[in-house]
Amino acid sequence: MAQVYNWQLQREMAFPYAEQRPQRQIAYIFDTNKCIACQTCTVACKTTWTSGKGQEQVFWNNVETKPYGGYPQAWDIKLMGLLEQRWKQQVYAGKTIFEDPPAGDNVTGHRPTEEDYAYPNMCEDEVAGMVDKGAFFQGIHNVWMFYMARICNHCTYPGCAAACPRQAIYKRPEDGIVLVDQLRCRGYQECVKACPYKKVFFNAITRVSEKCIGCYPLIEQGIQPRCVVTCIGKIRLQGWLSKPGEAQPNNPIDQLVHVKKMALPLYPQYGTEPNVYYIPPLNVLREFLLQMFGPGVDHAVQAYRQAARDREALAAMLLFGNTPQIISTYSYTDTHTVGYNDKGVEIIRVPLTEPFVVRQPYDQQHQAYRLNTA
């Protein structure tokens, strides 16, 4: 085992391979507060990449309702149970999936059953907490849920790659996208067991594993992935995350992840250094968010609440969902935020404040009161 630096944990950790960061790292930010679970992303991905035989229950992109939903079922609870057994109590300062795995494995993990994949929307819209019978809105503040969109995290230290005995999974040096080499793969499924996010899928027809390819044919043309571009709620932004210590404040991903620390990795304690960053939901049980996004949650929620008055953050957030092209840098004026591609060419300009018109209830021209003027 090599020793590598995991900046999300702020410590060195054991990993089967030496630290080798790509020239640039693909990264995404998902704003959970804006997701409406319309599943447009899911369908866009499904129809683009996984409509073949053996892929009937495969969703490289899925959206689940937390706390009870999960695809495959209980993917995170099962791993936390396993880790808890091994750590006894610690959550954040505990060992990662690469440290102290069970005898015979080099990663702590579990393989979902077929049944676990069979009901991807189970518990959709189920809330946590109880409203007493007949109480109506009393105690409603105890009731919460949120939608969580999930894809492969194109981890810096991929559990899937660490576990494969064939070294059939690799991370592209040019963009950090993690791919399964379909010719090398022999279907051992150690990757399925090892990925803590359960984002590698075994295809029972082809007998090899498959996973999100980060829409690399689009990335290579400077276009954001399908799940990002099609998102109705404009919750997503894909771009490039700088190496730790090299953050560029004019890169919107760096700005929200490294500078404002508003977007956080999902279950950083697993140790893979995942590269999908989430703006945590407001009004959700704090303990749940701490477990899911780590100790930075209080700061992230506060930064999000202040974003309307924080021009730098707001300008980055308004770039979400407004252009299919990959935004490398941005700047802002008093009125607009402007995004540029990696050649420095302007590709998008968005007003910082939405223009609005106040309509008078009485329409002079038609000598009549307007409808819907409330």
Q: Which positions touch ligand F3S (CB under 6 A)? A: 163-164, 166, 168-169, 180, 185-191, 208-209
Biggest CA-to-CA distance, the chain? 83
Q: Which does 313 bind (CB under 5 to 8 A by kind): ligand F3S, ligand SF4, none?
A: none
DSSP 99-148: SSPPTT-SS---PPPHHHHS-TTTTTTPPBS---TT-TTTTGGG-B-EEE
Shortest reach from residue 104's CB to ligand F3S, in Å: 14
Q: Which does 151 bind (CB under 5 to 8 A by kind): ligand F3S, ligand SF4, none?
A: ligand SF4
Burial of 10 (C-beta count, 10 Å sphere; 0-12/13-18/19+)? exposed
Three-class DSSP category at 312:
helix
Q: Which is nearer to ligand F3S, 113 or 331 (CB)?
A: 113
Task: Name the H helices within the chain.
Answer: 40-49, 75-87, 114-117, 159-163, 190-194, 216-219, 226-229, 252-254, 286-293, 297-305, 311-317
Stretch near ligand SF4 under the rule CB under 6 A, chosen from 83-91, 191-199, 284-292, 358-366: 191-199
Q: Which is nearer to ligand F3S, 55 or 255 (CB)?
A: 55
Select from 15, 49, 277, 320 the one that contacts ligand SF4 (CB under 6 A).
49
Whole-angstrom Cα distance, residue 52 to residue 44?
14
Residue 103 φ then ψ, to 5°: -55, 135
Whole-angstrom Cα distance, residue 179 to residue 172?
8
The footprint of ligand SF4 on residues 27-46 (CB under 6 A) is: 44-45
Shortest reach from residue 34's CB to ligand SF4, in Å: 17
Whole-angstrom Cα distance, residue 228 to residue 151?
11
Q: Verify binding: residue 26, ligand SF4, rule CB under 6 A.
A: no
Residue 186 CB contacts under 8 Å (≥ 6 apart), including other chains: 166, 168, 208
Shortest reach from residue 116's CB to ligand F3S, in Å: 17
Whole-angstrom Cα distance, residue 170 to residue 179?
6
Whole-angstrom Cα distance, residue 110 to residue 329?
40
Q: Which is nearer to ligand F3S, 29 or 163 (CB)?
A: 163
The footprint of ligand SF4 on residues 259-318 (CB under 6 A) is: 272
Three-class DSSP category at 54:
coil
Select from 60, 75, 147, 201 the one that contacts ligand SF4 (CB under 6 A).
60
Shortest reach from residue 200's CB to ligand SF4, in Å: 5
What is the token pair recorded at 75? 């993917």
Q: Which does 83 bind (CB under 5 to 8 A by kind): ligand F3S, ligand SF4, none?
A: none
Q: Which is nearer to ligand SF4, 211 or 260 (CB)?
A: 211
The footprint of ligand SF4 on residues 114-173 (CB under 6 A) is: 151-155, 158-160
Q: Which is nearer to ligand F3S, 211 or 236 (CB)?
A: 211
Q: Which does 168 bind (CB under 5 to 8 A by kind): ligand SF4, ligand F3S, none?
A: ligand F3S
> Rule CB under 6 A: which residues touch ligand SF4?
44-45, 49, 60-61, 151-155, 158-160, 178, 195, 197, 199-200, 211-215, 225-227, 272
